């Protein structure tokens, strides 16, 4: 028989304004096993915890129920308080009467009724609780960073500087990410490559960092502190150790018709290529789909011209298996496809481009060598129109519901740079709102207007109509003047919405990390744990978590590193004792539980079983407690009721249901 | 006031539009082929309904200048459908006239070189049973 104490928290007025807390405490005394009940203003305060501890000692309590906020907030607080008073922490249950009750109801009588029911369920469960003891697991002192953009680079550098080993896995042939494609960066207008390449070099040279480019994560198993990851290193067809990076192969390669990914398809590249001059590593890859040798068997020019003998057509993909204590996701973003926005004529005219394409056009290493010109006829534009919020802030099914956050600033940057370099070009920006919070950001936008004469018009564009003479007729509205505007432009630039790299779905599934409806990775707490995934040991860095500019990305990357370092610095982790175990006598070896276990924690053993005097050899399920995360998938799957979860046994859950239905 | 309120509710009901979704971007007005003929512009249809001033919509030139082309409905990023609001205001006027929404005999009277052909076609489609 348990001796249970019930503690009802007011949470100031958060609970007490909607729930009659004294009534809940009073009702608790009618429940089985309850020998003590009280309510208090703030149970989580020092004084509140002292009350719990005093009651445990004075009344020899064997279990407690705290009726308060979500266990996500204070379960640990109350478990630790109980432990200090000599009670096993797993004898503590939380009845969530705030998030599940007072915050979502208005009627005091109804809410109080519900709070009593929630209290009752928790008491019913504690009656069946047994003390549990957490085990220990080791921590592999090595981190994995997925994605080698500025976010991944910064996180890796910070972890490496703290003395831990870090591996970066980058899908493309070079690290650098989107930032390597940018020309100049707001708010200071320094050249993107000039500030990015020193970081790329530093991370490449760092003794604690290993970079796998042209590689992808293929499989992840294990759990916080002890992940095992398979990395597929795709065949580069070039020997990294022999190649000197001279670039002769790329010059001589006769297959030069593949659209350049780096230049957003605005020009072409050879089949053997390094995406950009400052690429790290400076070793080309052969794109086998465009290489004549791989497609037709005839060519082999690169191998002939390569002085270093680095070309290796026989190279195979390689699988590297490595253990990690922490994993950081930094897979970044892409621009949305504009297929749904035909009114802006993106697919009809080469002179309607996205902002990222404009970055390449303005860049000295880009398709026009940095000259601002129309991609249709190479002519210098006289009139340029920018359209903001293309595909952002939409509640229809064509676009994204969120504000992409960076486009107001980069559009101001583009407009300013063009007016500075080509003062005779007129620049018009159509905007819905100009959103420029941030240090020196609004000043930056105002400079575009006041010092550079950029014409900002409050209103949207309805249609862009390509004209027979090659001009683009832009029909927009000026909402301040309440006038429709017809403007002939030479180029139109669309600030298209950004979205998480579509790959992130695959990655999230492998990591059992959650993503939101927009495919952004979800943080463990929107305010208090913004760089951690709800899955232990997984951290978030950069735009994969939400739209960000570079300064914000770098700050978040550092924060993710600190969290990973905090984990790697531990020698051992306490493991969750609420794991599954199967009853040998009931298990029929059907394998259903192993099929549903997301952590691969279940295996089978052939064992001699003594079933009530009958000796038999049977195949039975065995759970590896180190791998089991206590998700409970197996317990609900098991057709024979053999699988059960410690701390959440079938009996306990049913007792809760009974208490609710009573 | 109560009849006005009533009309606002009527417009919302007939059109199925929630005017609060509008973010005042103006894409509807930027798309409207009849913009220059209108006294109240498509994005203002929404604010007039928000301000419960259906009377003004009912008496506007726009009521008869809208082509029901629904370019505004198509392009609105917030799925507001301003064209349906003016359409609803028009229906209120027509309903007040009784069951006979539009008879062919009225047409010659209404004919005016300024009225776009499509409006008549659209009116026929909508207001004849
Ligand atoms: C047009 C434009 C202009 C901009 N201008 C500015 C500016 O002036 N100033 C500013 O502060 N910000 C600017 N930004 C924002 C800036 O680009 C981002 O803040 C920054 O690039 C975010 O870095 P990231 O590392 O999070 O993402 P990314 O740069 O996207 O890097 C992600 C990396 O992960 C890799 N990856 C993706 N999936 C996988 C996978 N499955 N496995 C392995 N690797 C993977 C990608 O290949 C990439 O290298 C601009 C953005 C755009 C679009
Ligand atoms: S073998 Fe392939 S990559 Fe090499 S030069 Fe020929 S086409 Fe280019
Ligand atoms: S940042 Fe500016 S342009 Fe981009 S979606 Fe937000 S408001 Fe629109
Ligand atoms: S297009 Fe839609 S959101 Fe924009 S002003 Fe018109 S009704 Fe409002
Ligand atoms: S439906 Fe009417 S208001 Fe809407 S764009 Fe067409 S003419 Fe203009």
Q: pLDDT-derived band of residue A247, with 50, 70 and 90 as boundaries?
A: very high
- The span from the CA of A517 to the CA of A183, in Å, is 32
- The span from the CA of B6 to the CA of B12, in Å, is 10
A343 in contact with B, Cβ within 8 Å: yes
Query: Could you tell me the two tokens for A440?
Result: 């020196």
Give the side-chain half-sphere CA count within 13 A for A579: 19
- pLDDT per residue over A544-589, tens digit each? 999 999 999 999 999 999 999 999 999 999 888 999 999 999 999 9
CA distances from A242 to A280, A370, A554 (A): 15, 33, 34
- pLDDT per residue over A109-150, tens digit each? 999 999 999 999 999 999 999 999 998 889 999 999 999 999
- Across residues A307-326, what is the average pLDDT? 97
- Across residues A81-89, what is the average pLDDT? 97
CATH 3.30.70.3270 assigned to A580-646 = yes
Give the domain CATH number at B40. 1.10.1060
Cβ(A264)–Cβ(A356) below 8 Å: yes
Cβ(A487)–Cβ(A478) below 8 Å: no
The least confident of A62-66, A182-186, A222-226, A282-286 is: A222-226
Query: Could you tell me the two tokens for A9?
Result: 């928290």
- Across residues A389-410, what is the average pLDDT? 96
A399 in contact with B, Cβ within 8 Å: yes
Indicate whether B110 pLDDT > 80: no
Give the side-chain half-sphere CA count within 13 A for A456: 19
Domain ranges, residue B73: 3-127
- The span from the CA of B120 to the CA of B73, in Å, is 20
Q: pLDDT-derived band of residue A402, with 50, 70 and 90 as boundaries?
A: very high
Bond into A622 cis (ω within 30): no
Mean pLDDT of chain B: 85
Indicate whether A179 pLDDT > 70: yes
Give the side-chain half-sphere CA count within 13 A for A458: 10
- Across residues A66-74, what is the average pLDDT? 95
* Ligand 3 contact via A394 beta carbon (within 6 Å): no
Residues contacting A610, CB < 8 A, separation 6+ = none
- The span from the CA of A308 to the CA of A241, in Å, is 10
State which of A299, A306, A310, A314 you would mutate to test the pocket of ligand 2, scoring each by most atoms of that ligand within 8 A of its C-beta: A299
pLDDT computed for residue B128 by the predictor: 58
Cβ(A101)–Cβ(A115) below 8 Å: yes
- The span from the CA of A503 to the CA of A507, in Å, is 7
The better pLDDT of the pair A614, A185 is held by A185
Cβ-based contacts under 8 A for chains A and B: 66
Q: Given 3-state DSSP classes, what are the helix, strand and coil percentages for chain A, each rounded to the nearest 5?
A: 30, 25, 45
The better pLDDT of the pair A222, A501 is held by A501
pLDDT computed for residue A340 by the predictor: 86
Number of domains in chain B: 1
Run of H or E including A566: helix A550-568
CA distances from A523 to A28, A513, A531, A552 (A): 36, 9, 6, 16
B108 CB-contact burial (10 Å; exposed 0-12 / middle 13-18 / buried 19+): exposed
Query: Could you tell me the two tokens for A454?
Result: 């950029």
A507 CB-contact burial (10 Å; exposed 0-12 / middle 13-18 / buried 19+): buried
- Across residues A485-500, what is the average pLDDT? 98
Nearest to A525 by CA among A72, A13, A27, A70: A72
Run of H or E including A199: helix A192-205
Give the side-chain half-sphere CA count within 13 A for A198: 4
Indicate whether B1 pLDDT > 50: no
- The span from the CA of A43 to the CA of A7, in Å, is 8
- Across residues B75-94, what is the average pLDDT? 92
Residue A79 pairs with which residues in a beta bridge? Answer: none
- Across residues B71-89, what is the average pLDDT? 95
Hey, whose CA ends up nearest to atom 2 of ligand 4? Answer: B76
pLDDT computed for residue B5 by the predictor: 59
Distance A254 CA to ligand 2 centre (A): 7
Contact B29 A462 (CB under 8 A): yes
Q: pLDDT-derived band of residue B40, with 50, 70 and 90 as boundaries?
A: very high
The least confident of A216-225, A282-291, A609-618 is: A609-618
- pLDDT per residue over A503-550, tens digit each? 999 999 999 999 999 999 999 999 999 999 999 999 999 999 999 999
Residue A98 is given by DSSP the state I
Indicate whether A89 pLDDT > 90: yes
Query: Could you tell me the two tokens for A28?
Result: 């608790």
Residue A94 pairs with which residues in a beta bridge? Answer: A66
Contact A479 B29 (CB under 8 A): yes
H helices of A85-169, in order, are 108-126, 150-161
- The span from the CA of A170 to the CA of A400, in Å, is 27
Give the side-chain half-sphere CA count within 13 A for A613: 0
- The span from the CA of A226 to the CA of A628, in Å, is 13
Residue A343 is given by DSSP the state G
Q: pLDDT-derived band of residue A626, with 50, 70 and 90 as boundaries?
A: confident
ipTM above 0.90, yes or no: no
pLDDT computed for residue A609 by the predictor: 86
Q: How far is B89 from chain A (nearest CA, A)?
A: 22
B61: alpha, beta or left? (left if phi > 0; alpha if psi -120 to 50): alpha
Indicate whether A81 pLDDT > 90: yes
For the domain covering A335-499, report its CATH number: 3.50.50.60
Cβ(A579)–Cβ(A628) below 8 Å: yes
Tell me the angle at which helices A150-161 and A550-568 cross, rounded to the nearest 10 degrees.
40
- Across residues A406-422, what is the average pLDDT? 98
State which of A289, A298, A300, A315 you would mutate to test the pocket of ligand 2, scoring each by most atoms of that ligand within 8 A of its C-beta: A300
Indicate whether A176 pLDDT > 90: yes
Q: Where in chain A is the domain with CATH 3.50.50.60?
A: 142-234+317-332+507-568, 335-499
How is the beta sheet containing A318-324 ordered, strand by strand?
A215-223, A226-233, A318-324
> Which residue, among A396, A460, A461, would best test binding to B if mutated, counting the most B CBs under 10 Å from its CB?
A460
Chain A residues with CB under 8 Å of B26 CB are 432, 458-460, 476-477, 479
Indicate whether A403 pLDDT > 90: yes
Specify the residue for token string 């001589």: A252
A340 in contact with B, Cβ within 8 Å: no
Contact B77 A399 (CB under 8 A): yes
Q: pLDDT-derived band of residue A301, with 50, 70 and 90 as boundaries?
A: very high
Q: Where in chain A is the domain with CATH 3.40.50?
A: 4-126
Mean pLDDT of chain A: 96
- pLDDT per residue over B85-98, tens digit each? 999 999 888 877 66
The least confident of A157-166, B72-81, B114-123 is: B114-123
Cβ(A405)–Cβ(A551) below 8 Å: no
Nearest to A316 by CA among A234, A371, A388: A234
Closest ligand 2 atom number to CA of residue A255: 7
- The span from the CA of A311 to the CA of A305, in Å, is 10
Buried b (16+ CB within 10 A) or exposed e, A261-273: ebbbebeebbbbb
SS3 A393: coil
Enter the pTM of the model: 0.88
CATH 3.40.50 assigned to A4-126 = yes
- The span from the CA of A457 to the CA of A475, in Å, is 12
pLDDT computed for residue A628 by the predictor: 87
- Across residues A238-258, what is the average pLDDT? 97
Fold held by A142-234+317-332+507-568: FAD/NAD(P)-binding domain (3.50.50)
């Amino acid at each position: 028989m348990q001796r249970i104490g019930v503690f009802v928290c007011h949470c100031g007025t958060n609970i007490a304004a909607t729930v009659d807390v004294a009534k809940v405490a009073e009702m608790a005394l009618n429940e089985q096993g309850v020998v003590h009940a009280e309510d208090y203003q703030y149970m989580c305060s020092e004084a509140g915890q002292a009350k719990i501890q005093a009651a445990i000692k004075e009344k020899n309590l064997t279990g407690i129920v705290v009726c308060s906020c979500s266990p996500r907030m204070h379960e640990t607080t109350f478990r630790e308080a109980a432990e200090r008073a000599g009670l096993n922490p797993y004898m503590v249950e939380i009845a969530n009467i705030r998030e599940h009750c007072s915050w979502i109801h208005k009627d005091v009588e109804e809410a109080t009724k519900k709070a009593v029911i929630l209290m009752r369920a928790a008491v019913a469960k504690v009656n069946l609780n047994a003390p549990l003891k957490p085990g220990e697991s080791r921590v592999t002192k090595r981190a994995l960073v997925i994605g080698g953009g500025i976010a991944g680079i910064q996180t890796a550098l910070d972890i490496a500087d703290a003395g831990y080993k870090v591996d970066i896995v980058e899908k493309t042939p070079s690290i650098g990410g989107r930032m390597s494609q940018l020309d100049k960066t707001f708010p200071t207008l320094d050249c993107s490559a000039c500030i990015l390449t020193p970081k790329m070099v530093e991370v490449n040279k760092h003794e604690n960092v290993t970079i796998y480019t042209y590689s992808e994560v293929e499989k992840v198993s294990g759990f916080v502190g002890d992940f095992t990851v398979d990395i597929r290193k795709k065949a580069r067809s070039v020997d990294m150790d022999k190649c000197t990076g001279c670039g002769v192969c790329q010059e001589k390669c006769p297959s030069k018709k593949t659209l350049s990914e780096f230049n957003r398809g605005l020009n072409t590249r050879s089949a053997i290529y390094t995406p950009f001059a400052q690429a790290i590593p400076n070793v080309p890859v052969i794109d086998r789909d465009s290489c004549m040798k791989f497609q037709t068997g005839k060519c082999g020019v690169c191998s002939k011209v390569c002085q270093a003998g680095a070309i290796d057509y026989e190279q195979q993909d390689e699988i590297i298996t490595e253990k990690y204590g922490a994993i950081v996701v930094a897979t970044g973003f892409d621009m949305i496809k504009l297929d749904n926005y035909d009114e802006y004529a993106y697919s009809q005219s080469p002179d309607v481009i996205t902002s990222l394409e404009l970055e390449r056009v303005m860049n000295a290493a880009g398709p026009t060598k940095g000259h601002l010109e129309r991609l249709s006829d190479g002519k210098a534009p006289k009139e340029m129109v920018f359209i903001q919020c293309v595909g952002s802030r939409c509640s229809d099914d064509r676009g994204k519901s969120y504000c992409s956050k960076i486009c107001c600033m980069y559009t101001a940057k583009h407009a300013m740079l063009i007016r500075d370099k080509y003062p005779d070009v007129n620049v018009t920006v159509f905007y819905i709102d100009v959103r420029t919070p941030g240090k020196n950001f609004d000043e930056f936008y105002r400079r575009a207007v006041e010092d550079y004469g950029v014409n900002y018009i409050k209103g949207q564009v309805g249609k862009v109509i390509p004209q027979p003479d090659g001009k683009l007729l832009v029909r927009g509205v000026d909402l301040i003047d309440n006038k429709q505007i017809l403007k002939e432009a030479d180029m139109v630039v669309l600030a298209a919405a950004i979205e998480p790299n579509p790959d992130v779905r695959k990655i999230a599934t492998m990591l059992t990390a959650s993503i939101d409806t927009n495919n952004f990775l979800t943080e463990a707490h929107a305010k208090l744990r913004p760089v951690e995934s709800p899955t232990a040991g997984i951290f978030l860095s950069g735009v994969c978590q939400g739209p960000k500019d570079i300064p914000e990305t770098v700050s978040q990357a550092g924060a993710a590193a600190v969290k990973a370092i905090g984990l790697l610095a531990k020698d051992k982790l306490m493991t969750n004792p609420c794991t599954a175990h199967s009853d040998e006598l009931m298990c029929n070896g059907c394998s259903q539980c192993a099929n549903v276990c997301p952590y691969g924690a279940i295996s089978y053993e052939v064992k001699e079983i003594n079933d009530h005097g009958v000796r038999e050899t049977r195949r039975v399920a065995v759970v590896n407690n180190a791998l089991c995360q206590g998700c409970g998938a197996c317990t609900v799957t098991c057709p024979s009721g053999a699988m059960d979860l410690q701390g959440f046994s079938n009996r306990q859950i049913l007792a809760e249901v009974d208490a609710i239905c009573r | 006031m109560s009849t006005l309120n009533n009309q606002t509710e009527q417009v919302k009901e007939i059109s199925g539009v929630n005017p609060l979704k509008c973010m005042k971007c103006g894409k509807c007005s930027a798309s409207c082929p009849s913009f220059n003929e209108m006294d109240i512009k498509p994005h203002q249809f929404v604010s007039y309904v928000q301000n419960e001033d259906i009377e003004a919509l009912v008496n506007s030139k726009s009521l008869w200048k809208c082509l029901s082309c629904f370019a505004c409905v198509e392009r609105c990023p917030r799925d507001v459908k301003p064209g349906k609001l003016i359409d609803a205001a028009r229906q209120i006027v027509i309903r007040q006239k009784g069951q006979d929404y539009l008879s062919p005999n009225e047409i010659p009277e209404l004919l005016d070189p300024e009225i776009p052909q499509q409006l008549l076609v659209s009116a026929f489609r909508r207001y004849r049973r």
